[in-house]
Structure 1
Amino acid sequence: MKECRELKSPLVYRADPLFASEFGALAVQFYSLRRCFAHYLHMAYGNWRDYLRVRDEVSLKKYLYVFRPLLACRWIERQLGQVPMLFAQLVESVLDEADVRAALAELVARKQAGDEMAVAPPVEALRRFIEAERPRLEALNEPDDAAGEVEELNGFFRRYALAA
């Protein structure tokens, strides 16, 4: 399965229609489930290792830095297409564990209330999920796919980034 929609960020600060058109075409050609899966898994591992593993107190915000990529891997594993930008959509679509959902909902509510820098003892439901899900995902074979040749991307980069 190879799918890619154009950039789907809910925030657009500046739009260049020609850039968006060219980039969108390249995104379709180069979108790689295998590379996305590997990237998200590496991101989850790095954030877990750096911020959550073997700590008496953790930054609650850092859980979100681990959960988004783990849930993105689940999304790819379930062959649901391009990973959505919105965290809530990931949770709703691929997180079946009710206790983990409840703990994440509490974290998101705290973050939205401005309490995102809070430090606390590890949240047991979240810790258990990460300790089980990360190795499970690592044991999976990455999706098999192929992307285009990088010279076309290099040309695009030179036209836009180096010309600025």
Structure 2
Amino acid sequence: MSTPQSYKSCASSQEEGVRILYACESGSRAWGFPSRDSDYDVRFLYVRPVEWYLSIFEKRDVIERPIDERLDLSGWDLRKALQLFRKSNPPLLEWLQSPIPYAENYSVAERIRALSPLTFSPKSCTYHYLNMAKGNYREYLQGDQVKIKKYFYVLRPILACEWIERFDSMPPMEFDRLVDALIPADSELYTIVQQLLARKKAGDELDLEPRLNPINDYLEERIGYFERTAVHLKSVEVDRDRELDELFRSALREVWG
């Protein structure tokens, strides 16, 4: 079976003509609730030679490689990444703080991290997580029998909304950190979530089971709450285009000489 390090051969300079700037785990392994057969979801940033950008034509700015049933690779060109960064893109911000980095070459990733607090938009990030929670809740957690492992895919984004409201910063990727910071340890909800988490990590088959009413009640109340309050959150609109342009140009110089 392939390992996460396989991104080196799949997105290498020999095959794609790129240089990898940063690569990390982005899925359940980074969130802290992998099962025994969880995929490796590797995400990376890359840059192409200067000549590639000097064109009148729009070109594909992502690289995607399904290696096998356990390893999925997806990368963004640096220019695309910076365009999304200026809009406070949550997936990119998550990648840059992944607890499982696979590679960090050159200074670009750290320079983007340094700018992150200045461009972080509570409103846009909350809407991102809220819409994720609503979609997964509607799809998987309705009715008396639910896909029980999907609780994690609604709990995590709702807790991310809670983190943004409370701390006014980008939430951590790790599910345990969100739970410990935001759910009282002496509550029934905390106990049920910990039991479910232990089952998932142990490799239990978490498929259709009776709904867990304490979690559903919490999720429905929180979804309704953030639907009402997200509109009032701060929306950061800071003009840093010149700074990001210079970051992009200096990255090209650093990587290609």
**TM-score band (shorter)?**
0.7 to 0.9
Pairwise mapping of residues 102-113 of structure 1 onto structure 2 (< 5 A)?
Answer: 102-113=191-202
Q: Distance in 1 between matches of 2:206 and 2:145?
A: 12
Q: Deviations along 1:96-135, whole A, 9 cap, x unmatched?
A: 3711111111110010001253320111111111122210
What residue number does 1:127 align with? Answer: 216
Q: Distance in 2 between matches of 1:80 and 1:143?
A: 10
C-alpha RMSD of matched pairs (Å): 2.9
Aligned residues: 157
Answer whether contact 1:26 1:153 (CA < 8 A) is retained: no
Q: Distance in 1 between matches of 2:95 and 2:176?
A: 20
Larger strand proportion of the pair: 2
Q: Distance in 2 between matches of 1:82 and 1:28?
A: 8
2:119 counterpart (30, 39, 55): 30
Matched, 1:7 2:96: yes
| TM-score, scaled relative to structure 1 | 0.80
Greater shift, 140-149 or 95-104, is seen at: 140-149
DSSP 3-state at the match of 2:98: coil
DSSP 3-state at the match of 2:227: helix
Larger helix proportion of the pair: 1
Answer whether contact 1:37 1:142 (CA < 8 A) is retained: no
Matched, 1:100 2:189: yes
DSSP 3-state at the match of 2:216: helix
Q: Which has the larger radius of gyration?
A: 2
- % of aligned pairs identical? 34
Higher relative contact order (CA 8 A, sep 6+): 1
Structure 2: gaps spanning 5 or more residues: 1-92, 253-257
Q: Deviations along 1:24-76, whole A, 9 cap, x unmatched?
A: 244233211111111111111111011112x2321211001000111111111
2:238 counterpart (127, 134, 148): 148
| TM-score, scaled relative to structure 2 | 0.53
